[in-house]
């Protein structure tokens, strides 16, 4: 057996950058100044609106910023509660806290690892203002059930689609269905601008409010120059980043197809093991940002053993998100049962466009060894 140092490193994710991205970035660096300093931003927003099928888009410096702007635009603030799933990245919860509102953490469904609609409904109080649907690892929340609950109780339904480019719910793209949607173009995501994000909505009035908020409170038609009408935020994407984003969006179908190809390869190779992976219910398409295994309950499995086996073979594994309720920042919150049961049995697998079939085989072999070892 070759030692880890002789084997090529398998990263958990890696951007796909071609001559096109380099050409646009070079053009932006050379020419994108003065009156051209917004050209790629305008083009990027246009391309993204077309991809998603929405009326409005505002490019931002991150998904966290897009969520913060959107929630501020909806008037979420002190005393309000926003319901989200307990298994989540902190970026979904942080803007709620920044606005002085309270994240209410509820359980997830065992198959999608996303919001359990029954748990959402049970957590509604007179202070609840919004439901934040995070499409985890590309898996879709049950948007029909959540929309019905939101409508019944007069709540906003917000989509954090940072991980869900390429995911489609009954003909509608993730991020296009809620009061607003947020996406991330961080270097680990399916398409990237290095750092970056975007706010999208079909609501004209919300768009105007968020546009003003995103420009330090300066309205589009401000009559006095440098006269902010309120205190806003500064979460803008740069023209340089947008240039890379334009190239990535021209290649988006190819990049989503790459994610799906990698997932299918894992799915097929791991089919006989006692585990489940990202679901794709009838009528939906999963963008499969992160192929993830959840080992069946009752199978002796130690996540740390698998991650150590990956490490010894120069493979980057990644832990499933921790329950937010287990963080010190949310001390006092109890971890709901499904959230507690899943996260210690789950691992994200390496996935990127250029991953080799032999790399996937290496990852699969390590998983098989660890699970079979544990079973017998």
Taking each helix axis from N to C end, the angle separating 303-312 and 357-375, rounded to the nearest 10 degrees, works out to 140
Smallest separation, CB 200 to ligand PLP (Å):
14
Q: Which of 91, 114, 237, 249 binds ligand PLP (CB under 6 A)?
A: 91
13 binds ligand PLP (CB under 6 A): no
Smallest separation, CB 240 to ligand PLP (Å):
16
Query: Residue 148: which region, alpha, beta or left (left: phi > 0; alpha: psi -120 to 50)?
Result: alpha
Catalytic residue among 189, 259, 267, 311: 189
- Pick 109 or 134: Cβ nearer ligand PLP: 134
259 binds ligand PLP (CB under 6 A): no
Q: Which of 186, 259, 345, 362 binds ligand PLP (CB under 6 A)?
A: 186
Smallest separation, CB 66 to ligand PLP (Å):
8
Of 351, 338, 275, which is closest to residue 115 (Cα–Cα)? 338
To the query of whether residue 189 is one of the catalytic residues in this protein, the response is: yes
Q: Which of 40, 48, 89, 352 binds ligand PLP (CB under 6 A)?
A: 89
Smallest separation, CB 250 to ligand PLP (Å):
21
Q: Which of 134, 177, 349, 370 binds ligand PLP (CB under 6 A)?
A: 134
Considering only residues 51 to 80 of the shown chain, the ones binding ligand PLP according to CB under 6 A are 62-64
Query: If DSSP states are collapsed to H, E and C, what string results for the chain?
Result: CCCHHHCCCECCCCCCCCHHHHHHHHHHHHHCCHHHCCHHHHHHHHHHHHHHCCCEEEEECCHHHHHHHHHHHCCCCCCCEEEEECECCHHHHHHHHHCCCEEEEECECCCCCCECHHHHHHCCCCCEEEEEEECHHHCCCCHHHHHHHHHHHCCEEEEECCCCCCCEECCEECCCCCCEEEEECECCCCCCCECCEEEEECCHHHHHHHHHHHECCCCCCCCCCCCCCCCCCECECCHHHHHHHHHHHHCHHHHHHHHHHHHHHHHHHCCCCCEEECCCCCCEECCCCCCEEEECCCCCCCHHHHHHHHHHCCECCEECCCEHHHCHHHCCCCCCHHHHHHHCCEEECCCCCCCCHHHHHHHHHHHHHHHHHHHC
Q: Which of 47, 112, 167, 184 binds ligand PLP (CB under 6 A)?
A: 184
Most distant CA pair in the chain, distance: 75
173 binds ligand PLP (CB under 6 A): no
Q: Which of 197, 317, 336, 350 binds ligand PLP (CB under 6 A)?
A: 197
Smallest separation, CB 115 to ligand PLP (Å):
12
Smallest separation, CB 134 to ligand PLP (Å):
5
Q: Which of 21, 81, 116, 160 binds ligand PLP (CB under 6 A)?
A: 160
92 binds ligand PLP (CB under 6 A): yes
- Pick 165 or 275: Cβ nearer ligand PLP: 165
- Pick 198 or 246: Cβ nearer ligand PLP: 198
Rg (CA), the chain: 21
- Pick 186 or 259: Cβ nearer ligand PLP: 186
Count of residues touching ligand PLP (by CB under 6 A): 13
- Pick 108 or 270: Cβ nearer ligand PLP: 108
- Pick 128 or 348: Cβ nearer ligand PLP: 348
Which residues here bind ligand PLP, judged by CB under 6 A?
62-64, 89, 91-92, 134, 160, 162-163, 184, 186, 197
Give catalytic residue positions: 189
């Amino acid at each position: 057996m070759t030692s880890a140092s002789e084997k090529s490193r398998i990263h958990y994710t890696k951007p796909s950058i071609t001559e096109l991205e380099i050409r646009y970035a070079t053009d932006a660096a050379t020419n994108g100044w003065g009156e051209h300093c917004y050209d790629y931003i305008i083009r990027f927003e246009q391309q993204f609106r077309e991809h998603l099928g929405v009326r409005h888009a505002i490019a931002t410096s991150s998904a966290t910023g897009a969520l913060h702007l959107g929630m501020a635009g909806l008037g979420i603030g002190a005393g309000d509660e926003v319901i989200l799933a307990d298994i989540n990245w902190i970026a979904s919860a942080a803007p709620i806290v920044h606005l002085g509102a309270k994240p209410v953490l509820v359980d997830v469904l065992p198959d999608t690892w996303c919001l359990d609609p029954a748990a959402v409904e049970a957590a509604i109080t007179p202070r609840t203002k919004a439901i934040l649907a995070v499409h985890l690892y590309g898996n879709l929340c049950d948007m029909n059930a959540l929309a019905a609950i939101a409508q019944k109780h007069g709540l906003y339904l917000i989509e954090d689609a940072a991980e869900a480019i390429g995911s489609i719910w009954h003909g509608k793209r993730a991020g296009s269905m809620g009061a607003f949607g947020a996406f991330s173009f961080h270097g680990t995501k399916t398409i990237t601008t290095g750092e970056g994000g975007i706010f999208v909505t079909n609501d004209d009035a919300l768009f105007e409010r968020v546009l003003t908020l995103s420009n330090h409170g300066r309205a589009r038609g401000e009559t006095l120059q440098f006269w902010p009408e309120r205190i806003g935020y500064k979460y803008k994407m740069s023209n340089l980043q947008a240039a890379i984003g334009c190239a990535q969006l021209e290649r988006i179908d190819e990049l989503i197809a790459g994610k799906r190809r990698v997932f299918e390869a894992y799915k097929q190779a791991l089919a006989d093991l006692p585990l489940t992976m990202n679901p794709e219910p009838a009528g939906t398409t999963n963008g499969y940002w992160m192929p993830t295994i959840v080992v069946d309950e009752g199978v002796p499995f130690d996540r740390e053993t698998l991650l150590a086996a990956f490490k010894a073979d120069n493979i980057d594994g990644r832990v499933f998100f921790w329950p937010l309720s287990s963080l010190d920042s949310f001390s006092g919150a109890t971890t709901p049962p499904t959230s507690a049961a899943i996260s210690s049995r789950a691992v994200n697998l390496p996935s990127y466009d250029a991953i080799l079939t032999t790399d996937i085989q290496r990852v699969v072999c390590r998983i098989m060894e660890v699970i079979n070892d544990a079973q017998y």
